[in-house]
Amino acid sequence: MNEYLSSLMRYRPPVGWWDLLDIAIVSILIYEFLKLIRGTRAVQMAAGSLLVIGLFYVSRLAPLQTLNWMIRNFLVYVAFAAIVIFQSDIRRALAHFGRAPFFRYFERQEAVDETIEEVVVAASTLAAHKIGAIIAIEREIGLRNYIESGIPLDAEITYDLLVTIFQPDTPLHDGAVVLQENRIAAAACFLPLTVNPKLSRDLGTRHRAAIGLTEENDAIAVVISEERGQIALSIDGTLERDLTPDRLRERLQLLLAQRRSRTAKPTAPAYDY
């Protein structure tokens, strides 16, 4: 054993960039694996597996032939047992790695299209029932201050969830929903009211809050009027009113699909205040 360690220490191959890259990739994989199994039953199973592996090497160094035979025969079936026991965890791990930034780049456009469709369906449903609502969509400038003022959700965007949030008899209906990175970040958020004196007097609190939000950043706000059942869209402190679902979809696709910054605004039609 001492001779083996001595020869290993004497053999020092040069370390190149590929070796550093290899170590970095393995370290990241181990870190992601440990983060993934934290707080699950896989932790206990991993500890037990390490114990068995340790006993295996101990049985090879010491004259424990029976223990070594048992472990060697047991390890043959470990892989099959692990697949059966951890099939749900394996699926979750593969899905977790599939959501890495590199892969999310290819799924971003599809996720944006799904978000737009869910928002359009929710807005048309709320408008048909004359239920007031305001949906703020984050773009380049973060809306963290407004998210922290509401109730955090971090939920998948679905039209039925959006419609449920704004039902008058629910605790979260009074306020705005903020969408961030194709997720519902928070509900019942407080937005600043605009102080623009040129706005029409018939605009309610929701419309003024939507305009106030978009005056301060590049967010988009979809507003549903409770009195008229109309859909409006606010961007850059302006307001487009009485939109049809198809027109709302077109505007959101133009504003969100390319995630354009405020310095590269698309040409917008004349706005009705």
The CA radius of gyration of the chain, in Å to the nearest whole number, is: 28
Q: Is pLDDT at 113 greater than 70 in this prediction? A: yes
Lowest mean pLDDT among 10-24, 31-45, 147-161, 176-190: 31-45
Amino acid at 34: L
| pLDDT 10s digits, 179-229 | 998 899 999 999 999 888 888 777 888 999 999 999 989 999 999 998 888
Q: What tens digit of pLDDT does each residue of 221-251 get?
A: 999 998 888 999 999 999 999 999 999 999 9
pLDDT at 137: 94
The domains of the chain, with CATH numbers, are 2-98 (no CATH), 107-264 (3.40.1700.10)
Token couple for 266: 């698309």
User: Cα–Cα distance between 254 and 201 in angstroms, integer?
Assistant: 29
Query: How far apart are the C-alpha atoms of 49 and 3, rounded to whole Å?
Result: 29
Look at 137 and 203; give whichever has higher pLDDT. Answer: 137
Pairwise CA distance, residues 143 & 152, whole Å:
13
Question: To 10 degrees, the CA torsion angle through 257, 260, 262, 266?
Answer: -70
Q: Which of 243, 238, 244 is nearest to 262 (CA)?
A: 238
pLDDT interval class at 141 (50, 70, 90): confident
pTM for the full predicted model: 0.60
SS3 (DSSP) at 223: strand
Residue 59 has pLDDT above 50, yes or no: yes
At 89, is the secondary structure helix, strand, or coil? helix
**Sign (positive or negative) of CA dihedral 118, 233, 133, 183:** positive
Mean pLDDT of 153-172: 92
> Given this model, what pLDDT does residue 49 score?
73
